[in-house]
Amino acid sequence: MLLHSTLELLNFKMGDNSQSEAFEARIRVSGGGNNGSTGSDGDSKLEPSSPVDRHTFSRCSSTGSVNTPSSSAHNTEDEDSDNKSSTISYKERRREAHTQAEQKRRDAIKRGYDTLQDLVPSCQQTDASGYKLSKATVLQKSIDYIQFLLQQKKKQEEERNALRKEVVALRIMKTNYEQIVKAHQTQPGHSETRVSDETKFQVFQAIMDRLFQTFDSVSVTNFAELSACVFSWLEEHCKPQTLREVVLSVLQQLSNQIS
């Protein structure tokens, strides 16, 4: 009875997690009684199972599955492998994107040089050795051509400004001559005192004959000497006062001949 009470107390303390140990101890006690070792309470010994066995059974789940350390290690290796493959894939994509961007940049530069060679006339010819022009040569020829175009633009702008000024001057002269013509047309008796063309030609011929008398002394050996003599003759015999005297003298002479 004492042995039976002790076993029940042991089962109560261990609870559900040690039922297997109590069952094993009960079997061992019953076996010892049959061998004649139940004479005293102190001779009976309980031999519980090892802590390793108890630990192993306590890790069992309700469904009977066992979570071993090897399965956790296997899961960790799978995760590391996935992370590593993801990192490699990202690096490959980034390398591929960089390669494509670099190729696009080189293609754009090549197209730019080809366009320069088509636009610049001096770049359309090959080198003296027969090889294709280098990039440095293409750039230098392009710079020279741009400078030439800038000079041409500046020259054309100057010519345009000069032509504009000339147009303005011609318009002013036209306006003045129109006013002079209107003033002569509005004078009374203008049609009555009209001079014939023959008389005008006689006046012009007489003036030219008088001027040629002085111009006959001009030397025409070469262009330089002719230019120098003409300038001197103009300054001396074609001054406004001199021409006025010549015209008055011619008109007086013709008037005397007509009368």
Cα distance between residue 69 and residue 77, in whole Å: 13
pLDDT at 39: 42
> 5 vs 1, 2, 37, 201, CA distance in Å?
6, 5, 18, 171
pLDDT at 65: 46
Cα distance between residue 6 and residue 14, in whole Å: 13
- Are 123 and 141 a contacting pair, CB within 8 Å? yes
pLDDT at 153: 96
Per-residue pLDDT tens, the chain, 259 aa: give them.
555 555 665 555 555 444 555 545 554 544 444 444 444 444 444 444 444 444 444 444 444 444 444 555 556 766 666 677 777 788 888 899 999 999 999 999 999 988 888 889 888 766 566 678 888 888 999 999 999 999 999 999 999 999 999 999 999 999 998 988 888 777 655 555 677 888 888 888 988 988 888 888 888 788 888 888 888 888 888 888 888 888 898 888 888 877 6
pLDDT at 253: 85
Cα distance between residue 120 and residue 204, in whole Å: 59
- Are 122 and 145 a contacting pair, CB within 8 Å? yes
